[in-house]
Structure 1
Amino acid sequence: MSGITVHRIGREAQPLVIIDNFAPYPDVLRAAAIAAEFGPALHHYPGIRAPLPTSYMPTQQPVIAEVLTDVFGQPGPIDLIDASYSMVTSDPAALSIHQRLPHCDAFAVERIALIHYLSEGDGTAFFRHRSTGFETVDQSRAPIYLGQLDAELRYGSEPPRAYVAGDTPLFERTLLAEARFNRALIYRSYVLHSGAITPDAKLSPDPATGRLTVTAFLSVEKI
């Protein structure tokens, strides 16, 4: 698979697939984002989102399906849960506690996350929870992890009002995937991760100058 590299995250060695030159016409996608109407994001995302061109997923699905089969061992039919242009725009001072921590997008093993960078800038970081040692949180681990994290936040100090990009008292960074224009990352949604937003990051809501990405969430049916 040309332009595709596979990395293993931390001790649990979950796959992270990095695909350079992901989309055939990235400048067209960027132009469409500049013309799109963005609105507030849901589900704790610290920024804004806009609809994608309808051709995006059909165009990219063949390479996604190849990766899911060859790397993740998940060759079943792909169900698109959500996909949109996304931009991180929230001021660090306005972040909720959970927006200042690494997170999982879902606890189910069949769920897959994709991020496609349409700008240069900050990448994506992956983490290990120090006290449990968890780098992934599936349905069986969720009660343990959430209970322990709640206790640490309740009886310890709050995380600083900043995006989490590196090591903290509660989390150790295991890998940093750098952002490059037209690079995509594919990983399982239950891996602990965060946008590695640096203190000097441009948080502009303008797609021409801000951190423009496509984020997508997929589910792969078992066969």
Structure 2
Amino acid sequence: MTAPSLSVHRVGREAQPVVVIDDFTADPDALRAVALASTFGPAVEHYPGIRAALPKAYLPAQLAVLADVLGPLLGRSGTVEVVDASFSIVTTPPEKLDVRQRVPHCDAFGADRIALVHYLAPEGGDGTAFFRHRSTGFETIDEERAPIFFGQLDAEFRYGGVPPARYVAGDTPLFERTMAVEARYNRALVYPSYLLHSGAIGPEAVLSSDPALGRLTVTAFLSVG
């Protein structure tokens, strides 16, 4: 068994921490086998795909690794609670994306919220990218910034047109990419949920609903009290 390997990156002008963990779980093949036998259904919120339940032992087994990340690396301390966690597969064709799915987003506005993505496609597939909103300079969106950011974004849509029907993976007229993390099998990515980001889904991505073929990940959202 290979021990997890951690690296910390400070992203953009705001220097927010993004942690990359290779060899995240001891037996990714067993976890992937569970996903292949799972029943997936439509995702809630704005996730462009489908989700399935995780085995109950998954997150408790990773708490030791996450404790190393949340404390010294992300500067968070306190009780870790799971807000939401599931197997996830991106399946929505670009032409069916709604407007908000065509631009970078954040998952929550609070500084206590942490996002986790665990890549489980053996061939790697598409990773995750982080962004700066050009007109405001924002790289994170908290409660104070949210009305400014969304108001400005709505104005840009009204006067400049909505973004084209595609996933955002690189620079656009409205957003500048600040960092991209490549997907690798059994790699996890941990970052503050209020960072602007997007799945870096390329134009040739396989958007299959079959977990054996598609962009299989674990996505989890944690609250640190």
Q: Equivalent residue of 1:179, what SS? A: coil
Query: Which shows bigger deviation, 83-92 or 154-163?
Result: 154-163
Q: Find the partner of 1:51 among 32, 39, 53.
A: 53
After TM superposition, give the deviation of residue 72 of structure 1 in Å: 1.5
Regions of 4+ moved over 2 Å:
none
Structure 1: 5+ residue runs without aligned partners? none
Q: Find the counterpart in structure 2 of residue 89 from structure 1.
A: 91
Superposed, which structure 2 residues align to 1:183-194 within 5 Å?
183-194=187-198
Alignment partners' CA distance in 2, 1:204 and 1:172? 29
Matches of 2:156 and 2:24, distance apart in 1: 40
Deviations 1:82-131 (A, max 9, x none): 00000000010000000001000000000000000001100000000000
Secondary structure, counterpart of 1:18 in structure 2: strand
User: Which residue number corresponds to residue 124 of structure 1?
Assistant: 128
Aligned residue for 1:105?
107
Show the counterpart of 2:173. 169
- State the partner residue of 1:219: 223
Rounded to whole Å, the distance in 2 between the matches of 1:2 and 1:43 is 31
Conserved 8 A contact 2:4-2:25: no
In percent, how many aligned pairs have the same letter?
65
Specify which of 34, 37, 40 is matched with residue 38 of structure 1.
Answer: 40
Q: Give the AA of the match of 2:94.
A: P
CA deviations on 1:56-77 (whole Å, 9 max, x unpaired) are 0110111111110011221200
C-alpha distance in structure 1 between counterparts of 2:63 and 2:157, whole Å: 40
Distance 1:2 1:212 in 2: 20
Determine the structure 2 residue equivalent to 1:17.
19
Q: Which amino acid aligns with 1:65?
A: A
Contact 2:4 2:23 in 1 (8 A): no
Matched, 1:182 2:195: no
Residue by residue, what CA displacement relative to the aligned partner does 1:129-183 show, whole Å, maximum 9, x if unpaired?
0000000011111111111111111121110110000000000000000000000
CA RMSD across the alignment: 0.9
Partner deviation per Cα, 1:29-60 (whole Å, 9 max, x = no partner): 10000000000001110000000001101101
Matched positions, count? 221
Give the Cα–Cα distance (whole angstroms) in 2 for the partners of residues 2 and 145 of structure 1: 37
Equivalent residue for 2:162, pick from 158, 163, 184: 158
* 5+ long unaligned stretches in structure 2: none
Residue type of the alignment partner of 2:188: A
What is the TM-score normalised by the length of structure 1?
0.98
